[in-house]
Chains A and B, each alone.
Chain A
């Protein structure tokens, strides 16, 4: 039954509220993990300290800068669409997608180095190390992995918005979809900004 046909109803504020509520949910999803991180950080502070030195701070820093830049381009896209500058919007969305992909590629190489060294959950090398190491790398893969999944979801969303801008479904007076997409992208940014110091910098 096509009920929506009879109710032609558009409410941008509602989409905005809905997105914020969804972001609250996402924050609590990660909050659960940060709680677990805090508990084990206290329990195995020595192991975490040593294990954190195994991570490559340079790659982590580059990735943080990439994500921050992508947050900026996303923000510019949001401002551009409101001023009806569709070309600039598309360009900025394109750069955001590109930066997201570069982040994932870096992540891929970072992970594969860890795999080469046998530092992955369930590997015999890792289990032979201290329990702090096991827990650190377990959390590292789980949390950055979940973050990467969110990033991929965000990328898919941006691609959808990109298409919508081309087809004129998102424009200067109707941009709630782009706004929500950018909110989500900033969430992905924000989570990384907590993951980065926790895993790479505190040692």
Chain B
């Protein structure tokens, strides 16, 4: 076997063993490094989530006190948002598949890519260290709202610094991907012949570059304020806490599009493959990604409807919030229209993709309730918000992540997983998910506040259903993970194109050789060319 046709999993370079991975500049190995680290953090976050749901299974103190609960929802939020959901799909599947899907041998800056992973690990270590160093774990929530975050003695500083470093890692990934798409598309691959997953990463990259620095500087201001008593957000020194909220959401609202756009890209890949049909409205999907990215910059105020804003800003942000829902709806129509009259091949990735559309729709529509001013006054800071958020973020990014891992698993490892176990895992997970989060809509409308470890007796029955749902969901998750881990070693050998996909990653062997392509392909046809 020649050196170039050796699989990236077996290739022996300058470094051996573990060093061959953590010092590798190969985009595929870096993708897997991200996969293992992100999944580990996801399990930490999920465990915290389960413990919180166990606390909420009965009113009053059940397994933890109020302060522990506050620390848990803070760490759950920081872990899930900054360590899992924001980097998740771009860093894992973007790294692994972006170069392959555009017919390139690697990203434009392979060493910068490795640096991004190291920054991610360092940022994560700093953020996690907040739990053990200083005067106790932070209890501010992942939003670090001022002035509480400025005055509380708990260890906010390292959590904030960790988030800052993670932002840096995210920016570098965005720069790398955008440059790669500008410079390394295979000959013949014009922009409008690029598959939709790279397109979604392109739009995401711009948000990473243009929005992340705002949170960077805001977090630095928190640091400066805690260390040097500069009064940016402290009213006693003349600062304005509301300004903090504005700055925070100027990034953190676009950040939800960093989470969801790559997820939509994954779904746009999976639907045509399993409908065996060209994607409906390719250009509409591309343009709507940019519509989301652009309008997404101007809706941050809807996180602050109850915080105090002028009537005109309220009106403005509410209107824009309704408008930003339109491009997402366009994508849903496109996916459904692609399925229409297709010859549908029902497999695990399609189950995940279809359930993605289902939960994403509920998440999106419940967002419109929160976007309407009068309704929001009633629903703000209730469990309804938590339900909406988890439907759209966990239901969005999480389901797309599951769809992606089940779609590309045979390509990544060259082995196939056990399909019936995968489907069973999906069904149990899906049922648990609905019980867990759907009840939150009901509880929130009844008035149960979020972020409290205790509640009135009248919310008890709903919380029992929700907590049992959490247990069921994690049971499903365990089945999925065990199945995948087992299959990565012992699964049947997978062919190059197990699903009949048409994009470039299915034209090369599974697992891919170290240089991806023997020869860089000439692109002559559209990405989803089903006849």
CA A25 – CA B213 in complex, angstroms? 6
Pick from A6, A9, A14, A40: contact of B4, CB below 8 A.
A6
Please determine whether A131 and B238 come into contact, CB atoms closer than 8 angstroms.
yes
Q: With an 8 A cutoff between CB atoms, is A141 at the interface?
A: yes
Q: Does chain A have a CB within 8 A of B329? A: no
Q: Does B210 lie at the interface of the complex (its beta carbon under 8 Å from any beta carbon of A)?
A: yes
Contact across chains for A36 and B247 when beta carbons are under 8 A apart: yes
Contact among B209, B217, B231 with A21 in the assembled complex (CB-CB below 8 Å):
B209
Residues of B within 8 A of A36 (CB): 221, 232, 243, 247
Out of A6, A9, A21, A30, which one reaches B175, CB within 8 Å?
A21
Contact indicator A1/B230 (Cβ below 8 Å)? no
Which residues of chain B (5-29) have a CB below 8 Å from chain A?
Answer: 11-15, 20-21, 23-26, 29
A contact face: mostly helix, strand, loop, or mixed: helix
* Inter-chain contact B20/A13, CB cutoff 8 Å: no
B183, A4: Cβ atoms closer than 8 Å = no
A22 to B229, CA, bound (A): 30
Output the nearest chain B residue to A145 by Cβ-Cβ distance: B224
Q: Report the separation of the CA atoms of residues A13 and B243 in the bound assembly, to the nearest whole angstrom.
A: 39
Stretch at the interface among B102-110, B371-379, B430-438: B102-110
Report yes or no: A1 in contact with B231, Cβ–Cβ below 8 A. Answer: no
Cβ distance B231 to chain A, nearest Cβ, rounded Å? 5
On whether the beta carbons of A3 and B231 are closer than 8 Å, the reply is: no
* Cα A191 to Cα B230 with chains together (Å): 21
B13 pairs with A11, CB closer than 8 A: no
Task: Give the CA-CA distance A131 to B240 in the complex, in Å.
Answer: 11
**Min C-beta distance of A195 to chain B, whole Å:** 14
Known: A32-B247, A121-B228. A7 touches B13 (CB 8 A): no
Which stretch of A58-66, A92-100, A132-140, A151-159 is in the interface?
A132-140
Q: How far is the CB of B512 from chain A (nearest CB, A)?
A: 13
Is there a chain B Cβ closer than 8 Å to A127's Cβ? yes
Q: Are A1 and B243 in contact (CB under 8 A)?
A: no
**How many angstroms between the C-alpha atoms of A43 and B174 in the bound complex?**
36
B20 touches A32 (CB 8 A): no
- B477 in the interface, Cβ–Cβ < 8 Å? no
Give the Cβ gap from A185 to chain B, nearest Cβ, in Å: 19
A33 interface contact, C-beta 8 A: yes
- Contact A25/B212 with A1-B24, A6-B514, A7-B106 known, Cβ cut-off 8 Å: yes
In the bound complex, CA of A43 to CA of B213 (Å)? 25
Contact A138 B231, beta carbon cutoff 8 Å = yes
List residues of chain A with CB within 8 A of the CB of B178.
17, 21
CB distance from B8 to the nearest CB of A (A): 9
Please, how many residues of chain A have a CB less than 8 angstroms from a CB on the other chain?
A: 42
Is the CB–CB distance between B231 and A135 below 8 Å? yes
Identify the interface centre among A13, A25, A141: most chain B CB within 10 Å of its CB.
Answer: A25
| Residue contact A135 to B515, C-beta cutoff 8 Å | no
Is residue A202 contacting chain B, with contact meaning CB distance below 8 A?
no
Query: Hey, which chain A residues are within 8 Å of B11, CB to CB?
Result: 1
A29-B25 in contact (CB<8A): no
Which residues of chain B are near A31, meaning CB under 8 Å? 213-214
State the main secondary structure of chain B at its contact with A.
helix
Which of A2, A30, A33, A134 is close to B14, meaning CB atoms less than 8 Å apart? A2
Closest to A22 in B: B175
B209 touches A29 (CB 8 A): no
User: Is the beta-carbon distance between B179 and A17 smaller than 8 angstroms?
Assistant: yes
- How far apart are the CA atoms of A36 and B514 in the complex, in Å? 49
Q: How far is the CB of B181 from chain A (nearest CB, A)?
A: 10
Q: Are B15 and A1 in contact (CB under 8 A)?
A: yes
Tell me the smallest distance from the CB of A114 to a CB of chain B, in Å.
13
Chain B interface size, as a band, is 35 or more
Chain B residues whose C-beta falls within 8 Å of the C-beta of A44 in the assembled complex: 238
Annotate A120-132 by CB proximity to B: 1 below 8 A, 0 otherwise. 0110000100011
In the assembly, what is the distance between CA of A29 and CA of B171, in Å?
A: 12
B239 CB-CB contact with A under 8 Å? yes
Task: Provide the bound-state CA to CA distance between A197 and B14, in Å.
Answer: 54
Task: Please state if B231 and A7 are interface contacts (CB–CB under 8 Å).
Answer: no
Q: How far is the CA of A30 from the CA of B110 in the complex (A)?
A: 28
Q: Contacts of A132 on B, CB cut-off 8 Å?
A: 238
In whole angstroms, how far apart are the Cα atoms of A138 and B174 in the complex?
32
Which A residues are CB-close (under 8 A) to B237? 127, 131, 134-135, 138
Give the Cβ gap from A18 to chain B, nearest Cβ, in Å. Answer: 5
Q: What is the bound-complex CA distance between A10 and B397, given in angstroms? A: 35
Whether A32 touches B213, Cβ cut-off 8 Å, given contacts A1-B24, A142-B221, is yes
* A-side contacts of B23, CB under 8 Å: 1
Given contacts A1-B11, A138-B232, contact A7 B183 (CB under 8 A): no
Residues from 24 to 43 in A contacting B, C-beta threshold 8 Å: 24-26, 28-33, 35-36, 39-40, 43
Tell me the minimal C-beta distance from B301 to chain A in angstroms: 14
Question: A26 contacts which chain B residues (CB < 8 A)?
Answer: 213
**Residues of chain A within 8 A of B179, CB atoms compared:** 14, 17-18, 21
State in angstroms the CA–CA spacing of A26 and B217 once bound together: 10
A1 to B27, CA, bound (A): 11
Closest residue of chain B to A120 (Cβ to Cβ) is B228
Segment 108-131 of B: residues with Cβ below 8 Å from A: 108-112
Contact among B232, B239, B515 with A6 in the assembled complex (CB-CB below 8 Å): B515
> Known pairs A7-B515, A36-B243, A134-B231. 20 more at Cβ < 8 A?
A1-B13, A6-B3, A7-B105, A9-B105, A14-B179, A17-B179, A22-B175, A24-B210, A25-B171, A25-B213, A26-B213, A28-B210, A29-B217, A32-B216, A32-B217, A121-B224, A131-B238, A132-B238, A138-B232, A142-B221
The 4 closest A-B pairs by CB, nearest first: A131-B238, A1-B13, A122-B229, A138-B230
B residues with a Cβ closer than 8 A to A are 3-4, 11-15, 20-21, 23-26, 29, 105-106, 108-112, 171, 174-176, 178-180, 182-184, 209-214, 216-218, 220-221, 224, 228-232, 237-240, 243, 247, 250, 514-515
A-B contact pairs, 19 of them (CB 8 A): A1-B29, A2-B25, A3-B110, A4-B111, A7-B106, A21-B179, A22-B175, A24-B209, A29-B214, A32-B217, A32-B247, A39-B243, A40-B238, A44-B238, A121-B224, A131-B231, A135-B238, A138-B232, A142-B221
Which residues of A approach B to under 8 Å, CB–CB? 1-7, 9, 11, 13-14, 17-18, 21-22, 24-26, 28-33, 35-36, 39-40, 43-44, 121-122, 127, 131-132, 134-135, 138-139, 141-142, 146
